[in-house]
Amino acid sequence: MADIVEQDSQDQNEDTQKGKFLTFCMGNDFYGIEIKYVTEIVGLQPITEIPEMPEYIKGIINLRGKIIPVMDVRLRFRKPFREYNDRTCIVVIEISEVSVGLIVDSVSEVIAIPDEEIVAPPSMAKEGNRYIKGIGKVGTDVKLLLDSDKLLNDTELEGLSEL
């Protein structure tokens, strides 16, 4: 019985989190990521480099005893690197029990974006777009909604492991 009850509250939880996005900015663009994947947001921490990783994987950090890898989202999107400052944050996301910290310029707010306000992304071959799941309209602004799964599991990575 306990199992069923747990599942119910988990579903409920997900329901209340559905359609809510954490927005952060990178340069002039605003991005959004589904809040249900975000486990926490921390300020910049000392990063330990790991050799032979792709450029956008900066290394690992010690988050209260747990070791989390961190990824620079700018570099991931092949944008020019920007020095970190005191506004830089790490957004820790977790998908299928894999945790990654996303280094972003700054974090904005949590917004609810109803399904009707989300449109499919333009199918341009531009690099950054493969990680965009949709475009959300909030008033006059647009938020580029990230496909968290792709961000973490893009097959592009498989080629690298052969190196």
Query: Which spans of this chain sit near another protein (rule: CB under 8 A)?
Result: 1-3, 46, 48-54, 57, 60-62, 65, 67-69, 97-100, 152, 157, 160-161, 163
Is 98 or 119 the residue whose CB approaches another protein more closely?
Answer: 98
C-beta closer to another protein: residue 35 or 100:
100
Q: How far is the CB of 20 from another protein (least distance, A)?
A: 24
Task: Name which of 99 and 108 has its Cβ closer to another protein.
Answer: 99
Min dist. Cβ of residue 50 to another protein (A):
6
Cβ proximity to another protein: between 5 and 125 the closer is 5
What's the closest the beta carbon of residue 118 comes to another protein, in angstroms? 27
Angle at 79 between CA 89 and CA 142, to 5 degrees: 70
